[in-house]
Amino acid sequence: MSERHDAADRVRLERLLPAPAEDVFAAWTDPDSMSRWLSPTGRAVVTADVRVGAGFRVLMIGEDTEIEHTGEYLAIDPPRHPLVHVAVHIHGASPQRGQRDPAPRR
């Protein structure tokens, strides 16, 4: 869970999205939907296990690089909670360089 990590190595973002709750929920839990916005290249392979404690994996595919991100579902409560609480862990190097880095990093 995110509590065991100190703030020095975390980035927290919040965004108010003017859209129906179900759409936002699907955007974070339906692989088809996820593949359409999660990758900056527009190409991605996404798998998702929609349960608390499980998560998703997105492989962002570029010209000559592939960067994997995994996310963990911390809370799932449709339809009351329109937002799935997600913590994203990064495997792979910085988003600008796209080199492979075998060590997982949070």
Partner 1 sequence: MVEQLDTTYAALAHPIRREILETLTEGPGRVTDLAKPFEVSLAAVSKHIRVLEEAHLVNRRTRGREHLLSIDVRPLSDARSWLDSYRAFWEGRLDALDRHLENGG
- The site for partner 1 (CB under 8 A) is made up of 5-6, 8-9, 11, 13, 15, 17-19, 23-24, 26-27, 33, 36-38, 40, 88, 90, 93-96, 101, 103, 105
Residue 51 Cβ vs partner 1, minimum distance, rounded to whole Å: 22
Residue 90 Cβ vs partner 1, minimum distance, rounded to whole Å: 8
Strands (E), the chain: 44-48, 55-61, 66-75, 85-91, 104-105
Return the sign of the alpha-carbon dihedral for residues 75, 76, 82, 84.
positive
Residue 48 Cβ vs partner 1, minimum distance, rounded to whole Å: 15
Q: Residue 47 and residue 10: Cα distance in Å, rounded?
A: 24
Return the sign of the alpha-carbon dihedral for residues 12, 1, 82, 55.
positive
